[in-house]
Structure 1
Amino acid sequence: MNNKIKYKSNNNIVYSCKYHIVWCPKYRRKV
């Protein structure tokens, strides 16, 4: 159970990081 939570958290961080990398340049260009 603990391992599953750790995996889910890690996956969420990776997704958040990718989302941020995709949005950062678009936001900077718009501003």
Structure 2
Amino acid sequence: MEYRYGSHTVFNLEYHFVWVTKYRYKVLTGDVALRLRELVRQTCEAFEIQIIKG
């Protein structure tokens, strides 16, 4: 666990995202799933966000 420090604060933020489509249709499969995973990882890298699992 890595803490971040502000001028008067110490914090550790963790988020849990769940992607659910309407009626739980399986649309995030195959090439779409691979491309989405790539985009999410690139975005996280750009904002210095660490992916713990997934």
Question: What is the TM-score with the length of structure 2 in the denominator?
Answer: 0.35
Distance 2:47 2:34 in 1: 20
Distance 2:37 2:30 in 1: 11
Q: What does residue 37 of structure 2 align with?
A: 9
More strand by share: 2
**How many pairs does the alignment contain?**
20
Aligned Cα root-mean-square deviation (Å): 0.8
Which consecutive segments of 4 or more residues in structure 1 shift more than 4 A? Answer: none
More helix by share: 1
Instruction: Answer 1 or 2: higher relative contact order, Cα 8 Å, separation at least 6.
Output: 2
Amino-acid identity (%):
0
Question: What is the TM-score with the length of structure 1 in the denominator?
Answer: 0.60
Structure whose CA Rg is larger: 2
